[in-house]
Amino acid sequence: MRTLLTVIALFASVATTAPAFAETSSVTAHDHNAMMSMPMDHSSMNHGTQPTSAATVYQGSGVVKAWSDTSVTFAHQPIPALNWPAMTMRFGLSAYKGSPLSVGQTVNFTFIQSASGYDLISASAN
């Protein structure tokens, strides 16, 4: 019985204060226009690590396993700078300006990390 009275008292408290709170607020959860007119200066906020135009360039060597218009797949040797073991993986070609590589060709290559994964920068045959 005591629990029931406590629940009723708590409910009554919330029921009487919630409307009063809502009346004092000029912005409701659905009033996006009012929020859009608020000043939003984020210049002093720490947004975490942001991409920079000077991305780290990594080096590797491996064998071309596949080539397409948008990606190349290498079976590469370990890449110590990234603590990567030898593996086979795909690299995007959006930053690559060289000629297509032949499947089976052994190459040295450079790449960067991008928003979509890793992109090939350059490649030269061994």
Check residue 17 and give its pLDDT.
53
Expressed as residue numbers, the domain containing 92 is 58-125
CATH of the domain at 113: 2.40.50.320
Check residue 62 and give its pLDDT.
98
Q: What is the DSSP letter of 82?
A: G
Q: Find out whether 71 and 91 touch, Cβ atoms under 8 Å.
A: yes
Residue with tokens 């991305």: 55
Q: Count of domains in the chain? A: 2
**Residue 96: inside a domain:** yes
Taking only the tens of pLDDT, the chain with its 126 residues reads 566 545 455 555 555 555 554 555 454 445 544 544 555 554 554 444 344 457 899 999 999 999 999 999 999 999 999 999 999 999 999 999 999 999 999 999 999 999 999 999 999 998
CA–CA separation, 102 and 100 (whole Å) = 7
Check residue 120 and give its pLDDT.
98
